[in-house]
Every structure is written in structure tokens, then in C-alpha cells.
Structure 1
Amino acid sequence: MNQEIEAYINELSANLQGLPEDERQETEEFYREYLLDGKLYSRSSIEQKLGTSQQLARKILADYSLNLDEPPTHPINHQRSQSDLRAVWWIILGILSMPVGIPILSALLGIIVATISVIFALIIGFWGLIFALAGIGLTIVVKAIPLLWTQWQVGLFYTGCGLVALALVALIVPMLIHLIRIVIDASFQLIRRLGHKVFKNQYYQTANKEKHQQ
């Protein structure tokens, strides 16, 4: 077995630790056979064809992430959030490993930052409104309770107003949390779509794909 090929495959394997064990082994075997069939025995010829082992690993991981099942529509849980974040990170690294990666990500970053800034400002405004509403509601209730024993009609009215304010807070908070989750999920989907666009004509072999661009 050619030493340069084995060294390259070993480096590739070290950079593919995020893949499941069986898929990583199949991927290593594919590229080992690919290099042997192509008679790419020197490091320079290998890297000219496939790039460095780190670059190839990033492309494989990105391609693997893009070919995973689409995220389900049920509520986001901790495990799914971690999985989505890891997939997005792999896609970003895969795009960066390509010549067009940095300009594309720079443009995307500008759009995302501008969008997130607006959304973040709105969310901060909503949270400010919620805290203010909760504070007002609690204050009204606390001050109205003593009136129930002196001027019960007035006390009852203000107590009701305070409870209405607190009820609005209880309704708005879940809606705001749901909105934040939607924004996060939409950001993940945007990056996945970008990955599909960038890798549309690039086929980096993983265990669940059988095509490779020669």
C-alpha cells in the first residue's frame, strides 16, 4: 500500500470524527480505492485532485449534513438543536473550503447580521414590554388588595386590571419564545439552502452517496 495514500487517508479519518463509525470507514475505503485507481501516489497529485485532507473532510461533512433528513416539524428539543447546530457548522466549514466560499459567506453574513439585528431589536422591545407589563400588573395588584377592605369596588376594579396585565404576560411569553425558535430554525434552513446551492454540482462521496465528481 502506498505510504502517501495511507498517510492522507489517516489524516482524512482524523478530520472525520464527526461521522458515524461505519460511514467514516466506508468513506475512507472509497477514497483509498479512488486514489489507487487514479494512480495518485504523491501528496502533490492527491492534493491537486482532492485538496488537503482537512479541506476534503469539510466538504464530506458538509455534503453528509445536506443529505441528512430534513428537520422534523415538531417542537425543537435540546438534542435536535445540537444536531442542527453541528450540521450548520459543517456546512459553513464546507463552503469555506471552496474557492467561492468566503465571498458567498461574507454576503450571507451581511444579510444575516442585518436581519438578526432587526429581529433582535424587536425581541428586546417585546421583552421590555413584557417586563413593564408584568411590573405594572404586580404593582396594581399589590396596591389594590388593601382597597378590598376599604373601598372594595375600587380595589376589585384595580385588582382585575392587574390580573389582566399578568394574564397578557402569560400569553405573550410563550408566543415570544415560539417566535425565537422560528427565527433560529429559519436561520438553519437558510444555511442549508445555501449549502444545496453551493454543492449542487459538487459531489463529495460519503457513505450515503455513491457518486463522486471525477
Structure 2
Amino acid sequence: MSYLNELEAHLHALPRDERDETMAYYDEYFTDANLSNSAARKQFARRLIADFYMDADDESEIRPKQQLRMIWVVILGLLASPVILPVALIMVALLVSALAVVLSIAVTIVSIVVAIIIIAVVSIVTGVAVVFNSLSGGIFFMGVGIAALGVLLLIGPLMISFMRACFNGLINLIKAIGRRFIKKGANYEA
């Protein structure tokens, strides 16, 4: 049965044991439904992958690379789901804009960290260069550089935690939208 081989090729994003269970179950399902359209099978595979990710409640179950894949799978699942097309397009736009916000927050945090590091290095180097001409000026600049490093050590973990919280919030939003609009066990035929 070539359609099952094609389905299994589309399910490469699932873990092997989940893929084997799914293939065994849906071998019978496809036989009973006499499903032969390759586009319907591809859509069905996308929905199965989306169902798998929607069932993964614990963030430790899904590695970061799989989380990015989950975002893409949910978007494809939304577009493949039997909801009204404008609603699906609005949900996809919402997900893309939420992803853009999270990425912009990440870029901003990285930029702040880089700026603090540059300020610290420039201040320390300036302080070392100035210390021979003006002791108080050199100590001041070195102090500013060391203070900048101290600020980085204090707020760095907070920034990382904030970035993680934003990304986990995005993942939870994607799962919630996926659970709402991608119905598990729904009719997967095109």
C-alpha cells in the first residue's frame, strides 16, 4: 500500500514510537475509508502531527527545535482544518504577529546585553588609558565599566527568564489556538 508509505514519509516530524502506533491505527482507518487522494493524505499527515504537538502539555516533552516545528505545523494545521478560511487566516496572522513580537523582544534583549558589554569594555579600556594622566578620571571610567558588568550580571538572568517566559507564552498560545481549531479525531478527508 503506497499511500501508507507516503503518509509515513509525511510523519517524519513525530517520534518513531508515536509514528509506528499512528501507522498501525490508520492503516485500518485508510483501508476502511478507501482514501486515495494524495493531497488528502498529506493534509491528514499535517493534522496528525498537529494533534501530536497539541497533546504534548509539558514543555520538557518538546525540544526547542521541535517547538519551532510545532509553530509551523499548527499554522499548516489551521490552514488544513475545516474552519472558515477567514478565521484560519486571522489565526495565522495572530500567530505570525505574536511570533514577531517575541522575536523582537529577543533581539532587543540581545542588543541591550551587547550594548552593556561594549560600554563596559570601552569604559575599562578608557579608564586604563586615562589613569596615567588623571588618577580620578581613570578610576571613574574603570568603575563605570565594572558597574556595567555588575548590572549585566544582575539583570542578565532576569532578561533570559523574561525571554523564556515570552517564548513559553507563545508556545502556549499556539497550543491553545491549535487545540481550539484543530479538532482531534475530526474527519481528516479533504
With normalisation by structure 2, the TM-score equals: 0.72
* Partner in structure 1 of residue 90 of structure 2: 107
* Partner in structure 2 of residue 13 of structure 1: 8
Percent identity between matched residues is 28
* Counterpart code for 2:80: S
SS at match of 1:194: helix
Task: Indicate how the Cα distance of structure 1 residues 16 and 132 shifts in structure 2: closer, same or farther if over 3 A, else same.
Answer: closer
* Partner in structure 1 of residue 147 of structure 2: 164
| Cα distance per residue 1:37-62 (max 9 Å; x no partner) | x5x4574xxx6xxx711111111111
More helix by share: 2
* Counterpart code for 2:28: E
Give the gaps of 5 or more residues in structure 1: 1-5, 74-78, 206-211
| Cα distance per residue 1:92-137 (max 9 Å; x no partner) | 3222222327534422343344445555555555555544444443
* Counterpart code for 1:32: D
Residue 69 of structure 1 and its aligned partner are, at CA, apart by: 4.0
* Partner in structure 2 of residue 203 of structure 1: 185
* Partner in structure 2 of residue 63 of structure 1: 51
Task: Indicate how the Cα distance of structure 1 residues 72 and 19 shifts in structure 2: closer, same or farther if over 3 A, else same.
Answer: closer
Q: Tell me how far apart the structure 1 counterparts of residues 6 and 100 of structure 2 sit (CA, whole Å).
A: 40
* Partner in structure 2 of residue 152 of structure 1: 135
Instruction: After TM superposition, list the pairs within 5 Å mapping 1:1-214 onto structure 2.
Output: 6-36=1-31, 38=32, 40-41=33-34, 43=36, 52-72=40-60, 80-100=63-83, 102-117=85-100, 124-146=107-129, 148-149=131-132, 151-200=134-183, 202-203=184-185
Cα RMSD (Å) of the superposition? 3.6
Q: Tell me how far apart the structure 2 counterparts of residues 116 and 90 of structure 1 sit (CA, whole Å).
A: 14
With normalisation by structure 1, the TM-score equals: 0.65
Q: Tell me how far apart the structure 2 counterparts of residues 147 and 35 of structure 1 sit (CA, whole Å).
A: 78
Q: Tell me how far apart the structure 2 counterparts of residues 20 and 116 of structure 1 sit (CA, whole Å).
A: 25
| Cα distance per residue 1:180-201 (max 9 Å; x no partner) | 332222222211111111134x
Give the gaps of 5 or more residues in structure 2: none
On the 8 A contact 1:95/1:101 being kept in 2, the answer is no
SS at match of 2:56: coil
Number of corresponding residues:
187
Task: Indicate how the Cα distance of structure 1 residues 97 and 120 shifts in structure 2: closer, same or farther if over 3 A, else same.
Answer: closer
* Partner in structure 2 of residue 3 of structure 1: none
Q: Tell me how far apart the structure 2 counterparts of residues 18 and 171 of structure 1 sit (CA, whole Å).
A: 39
